Every structure is written in C-alpha cells, then in structure tokens.
Structure 1
Amino acid sequence: MPVLLFTGPCGVGKTTVALEADRLLEEAGVPHAMVDLAVIGACSPRPADDRWNERLVHANLACMWENFRRAGAERLVLSRTLEHRSLLGSIAEAVPGAEITVIRLTADLGEVQSRIRSRESGRDPRWYLNMAEYLVDKLATAAVEDHVVSNQNRSAADTAREAMRLAGWLDIER
C-alpha cells in the first residue's frame, strides 16, 4: 500500500502540499485518501506519557484507513511532523502493507516564520515560532526523509507534483 508522508517544521506547508497532492490525485482518477495526523490527534486531556497523543493518532488512523480501504482508496497521503523514523512503525501498524515514502519539505526559517505569523493571526504564535526554529535545525540533520523538496517561492501544486514524481506515484508532468 503506497503511503506518501509530508513532513517538516511548523509552517513549512505540510498540510497545504498534502491537500494539493490530494487534488492532483483526484484529478488523475487515482483512488486515495488524505489525512493530517495532527488533526486526528486533537483531543484533551493528553496522557502524561503521550504528550503528542501518538497512540490516539494511530488508533484513529487504523480505523480511518480501514474505512478508506473499503471505500476504494489504494494510496494514502499523510502530513505530520516526523522527528524520528521509528515513528513510521506505528503508521505501518495502522496501515497494513504500508510502503511509506517520506518527503521532507523545506523553506527558509524567515519564510516559515512569516507563514506562521500569517496563519496564527489573532492568536499567540510564539509556541509555533519557537517550535519551527527548533525543527528547522533538528530535521536538517535527523535523516527522517527519503527525499527533500523545497516549498520556498513556489506553488503548493508544484511542490506536490515534484514530491509525487520523486515517490514514483504519478507521471504528472504538465
């Protein structure tokens, strides 16, 4: 089961690019599903021993994947911040037969911070800004990805096309 996972720091455009991949796959008639893993773990209170609700995320993904599969999905697009490749094991358990390709999206820290300030308008962006600064450096050396794709000064659709080309998913040259 082909799985394409977009990762990167807060504000790099993981969800936006995943949604573009979703749109491109739909236009191409490819049966698939798309899930933002951060969204399906949004539940409070969080267990003291599971700060990011990983167990809930992967339990929800397993249920969702079963439903998506029954509905005809043959591929899965995911977005999440992935700091360690070991976390892919939980995805593989939730999606039997998963063949996961990880795409790390990049953009300059200034661009990422600008996106965060724009998207968090009306809310305090400090946590996201601090986390983005940490993750830009951390992910540059963490080697969690199979491929690196820049999401700087280009459309999300172009970024998604390049990612899917690198993953061998589609011939979507236009």
Structure 2
Amino acid sequence: MTTRSEVLFLGGRSGVGKSSVGNEIHAQLSAAGVRHCLIEGDNLDLAFPPPWEHNLAERNLAAMWTNYRALGYHRLIYTNTVSVRTVENLTAAMGDEPSVAAVLLTADDATARARLARREIGTTLDLHIERSDRMARELEQTVASWVHRVPTDARPVAGIAQEIITLTGWCASA
C-alpha cells in the first residue's frame, strides 16, 4: 500500500523568509530522521520571457514529484511566493491527492525591506521592494482563511520552523 502524500506549502512576500524557513524545516526534519524533500518553487519556471502561461512550474513540479515518489518520498516542502494561493493547481500537478498544510509567512514592510537590502546586492533592490510591498497586500486579501498565518518579524528562524513542523505533525508520525 502506498502512503498518502503530504505537502507543506510555504508562501509569502519577498523578504519574509520562505527559503530560510524552508531550509530550517529541512534541517530539523533531517535531524529527526523524517523522510521528506524540499522544492524551491521559484526555480521551476525562472526564465525570460516568463513562461507562466505554459504552466511550466506545475509541469516541472509534476515531473520532480513523480521522481521523488518513485524513490519512496511522500512528504514535500514547497516554497513559493504564491503557493498558498494556488494550492489546487499545485496539488493537481502532484497527481496523488496529498494532504495539505499551507502557511503564509508574514512580515511588516520594514522587516521585509531590511532583509531584501541584505540579500539583493545588484540593481534590482528597488524593484524587489516594490513587488514585495504589493504582494504582501495582495496575499493578505486573496489567500484563503484556512491558510495558517505565521509572523516572522523579530523571530529566530529555528523557532518559526519548529512551529510549522508542529503544525504539520510530521515529527509525531515519523
């Protein structure tokens, strides 16, 4: 019998800490011996011109998830800004009706801007700040009420990751 898939979607504005929290969840689950994989959704359709109209991210997720499942993985951490808004499309791409947990990471403008200023060292800082501010408002207005909100302001990444792991129950069912 095949174990039902489980997926954790981490979403939020740029600078909120999705990658850092996703990597810390990966580290903590690995230390606990919990079998899982981590996919950075931003990398699944990073191209110019953007291929969004071709559903490339979903197609690449389907291919990657098929490969992970063939190797016996059934837990996925998926990070992407809007993943918590596109849960139905992403779970359909996975193709195996996973159990879903979704978390919208939040941070105030000052926190996100400070983090972006440390990360974006090239010519795109102003553009990232503008998009981050806009996306924060959009996500707050459009993300379903069942999606958990977890603030990241002035909190250690390890504590945020532990809170989310507890939410999933993955360590309890390792």
Say yes or no: TM over 0.5: yes
Other-structure match for 2:112:
112
From 4, 10, 21, give the equivalent of 1:17: 21
Identity within the alignment, %: 29
Check the 8 A contact 2:14/2:81 in 1, yes or no. Answer: yes
Provide the rounded CA distance (Å) in 1 between the counterparts of 2:122 and 2:21.
Answer: 24
TM-score (norm 1): 0.87
The one-letter code of the counterpart of 1:43 is A
Q: How big is each residue's C-alpha offset from its partner over 1:44-69, in whole Å with a ceiling of 9 and x where there is no partner? A: 3334x72xx6x111111111111111
TM-score (norm 2): 0.87
Offset, 1:122: 2.7
Q: 2:166 aligned with 1:165, yes or no?
A: yes
Provide the rounded CA distance (Å) in 1 between the counterparts of 2:83 and 2:67.
Answer: 28
Check the 8 A contact 2:101/2:168 in 1, yes or no. Answer: yes
1:1-174 matches, cutoff 5 A: 1-47=5-51, 50=53, 55-82=55-82, 85=85, 87-95=86-94, 96-144=96-144, 146-171=147-172
Q: How big is each residue's C-alpha offset from its partner over 1:102-143, in whole Å with a ceiling of 9 and x where there is no partner? A: 101111110101111110013321221011111222222323
The number of aligned residues is 166
Q: How big is each residue's C-alpha offset from its partner over 1:138-170, in whole Å with a ceiling of 9 and x where there is no partner? A: 222323352111111122121111012123222
Q: Structure 1 unaligned runs (5+)?
A: none
> Structure 1's 101 and 66: CA in aligned 2 closer, same or farther, altered over 3 A?
same
Provide the rounded CA distance (Å) in 2 between the counterparts of 1:45 and 1:162.
Answer: 38
Offset, 1:83: 7.4
Q: Structure 2 unaligned runs (5+)?
A: none
Check the 8 A contact 1:147/1:166 in 2, yes or no. Answer: no
Structure 1 segments, 4+ long, off by >4 Å, are: none
Check the 8 A contact 2:10/2:18 in 1, yes or no. Answer: yes
> Structure 1's 3 and 111: CA in aligned 2 closer, same or farther, altered over 3 A?
same
Check the 8 A contact 2:12/2:18 in 1, yes or no. Answer: yes
